[in-house]
């Protein structure tokens, strides 16, 4: 590969769009070429500056509320093919009671967590988790080795998240990811538990907040557990059971054994 070819392919390389063969060819060329090294470093520097200096605008709570209300309206609107009598029977069949119970349970569950962190963050962690599991971006760095995941995350953040692997207990580390939480980049540790994916968001605890025991909530079918410890705040989000989630988050918050 010559310099001209390498310069053309460098952006696609740094965006992760090249196949392994092309990537290897680029890496080999860059090693021996000062100009292409400068070019590659500049691309990387711009990317890391964008990540650290440019705000990601998360949807404000009012917008979330508006969308949910619009969805509720759409659900309530009778569809043309459904006769009104049928609709009433559907309501009386306990669906209304069911949805009221769901809202109530959600309220009780999140009230516990509200007290410590606030539902906006809970909603954000769930949105992050759902986005990652729905899309194809589950991990940015795939590794069960905490000595690979930790430096990868540390080099992209202004803090270094403690990383532990619990393979021996059936909770193997699958990798790490960068997300946004509360408008800031946040480290996400990805664990597997049987068929479930567990995301754990980690960020430094604010203002020396003392260790707290985990609180849990349920939102849109996902369980969320929160704890503070080891100098960090931890949020676990998963469709795995609340017990598993709570025990994982408390172990992480206790710090390495």
In the complex, the residues that contact other proteins under the rule CB under 8 A are 11-12, 15, 17, 42-43, 46-47, 49-51, 53-60, 62-64, 66-68, 70-71, 74-75, 77, 79, 81-82, 90, 124, 127, 130-131, 134-135, 137, 180, 220
The stretches of the chain forming alpha helices (DSSP H) are 3-14, 20-31, 34-53, 61-76, 84-90, 96-114, 119-134, 146-154, 242-254
Opening angle at CA 125, ends 184 and 214, nearest 5: 105
**Which C-beta is closer to other proteins: that of 137 or that of 209?**
137
Which two three-digit tokens encode residue 109? 């569950």
**Which C-beta is closer to other proteins: that of 78 or that of 170?**
78
Which two three-digit tokens encode residue 176? 């790490």
Kindly state the smallest distance separating residue 152's Cβ from other proteins, in Å. Answer: 15
**Which C-beta is closer to other proteins: that of 93 or that of 108?**
93
Identify which of 141, 172, 173 has the alpha carbon closest to the alpha carbon of residue 157: 141
Kindly state the smallest distance separating residue 42's Cβ from other proteins, in Å. Answer: 6
Within 10 Å of residue 60's Cβ, how many Cβ atoms?
10
Kindly state the smallest distance separating residue 93's Cβ from other proteins, in Å. Answer: 11
**Which C-beta is closer to other proteins: that of 46 or that of 103?**
46
**Which C-beta is closer to other proteins: that of 75 or that of 194?**
75
* E-only strand ranges, 110-231: 141-142, 173-181, 184-193, 196-204, 212-219, 222-229
Kindly state the smallest distance separating residue 37's Cβ from other proteins, in Å. Answer: 16
Whether residue 185 contacts residue 227, with contact meaning beta carbons closer than 8 Å, is answered with no
The phi, psi pair for 58, rounded to 5°, reads -75, 150
Kindly state the DSSP code that residue 235 receives in the 8-state scheme: E
């Amino acid at each position: 590969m010559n310099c001209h070819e390498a310069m053309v392919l460098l952006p696609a390389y740094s965006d992760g769009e090249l196949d392994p063969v092309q990537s290897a060819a680029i890496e080999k060329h860059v090693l021996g070429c000062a100009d292409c090294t400068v070019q590659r470093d500049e691309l990387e520097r711009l990317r890391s500056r964008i990540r650290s200096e440019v705000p990601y605008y998360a949807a404000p709570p009012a917008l979330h509320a508006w969308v949910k209300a619009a969805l509720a309206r759409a659900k309530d609107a009778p569809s043309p093919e459904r006769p009104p009598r049928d609709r009433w029977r559907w309501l009386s069949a306990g669906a209304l009671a069911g949805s009221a119970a769901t809202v109530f349970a959600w309220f009780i569950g999140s009230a516990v967590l509200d007290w410590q962190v606030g539902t906006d963050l809970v909603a954000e962690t769930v949105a992050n988790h759902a986005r990652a599991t729905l899309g194809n971006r589950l991990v940015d760095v795939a590794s069960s080795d905490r000595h690979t995941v930790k430096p990868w995350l540390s080099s992209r953040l202004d803090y270094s998240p403690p990383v532990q692997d619990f393979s021996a207990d059936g909770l193997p580390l699958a990798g790490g990811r960068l997300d946004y939480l509360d408008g800031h980049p946040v480290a996400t540790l990805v664990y597997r538990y049987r068929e479930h994916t567990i995301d754990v968001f980690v960020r430094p605890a604010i203002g020396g907040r003392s260790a707290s025991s985990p609180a849990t909530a349920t939102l849109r079918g996902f369980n969320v557990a929160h704890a503070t410890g080891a100098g960090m705040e931890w949020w676990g989000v998963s469709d795995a059971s609340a017990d598993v989630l709570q025990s994982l988050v408390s172990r992480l918050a206790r710090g390495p054994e």
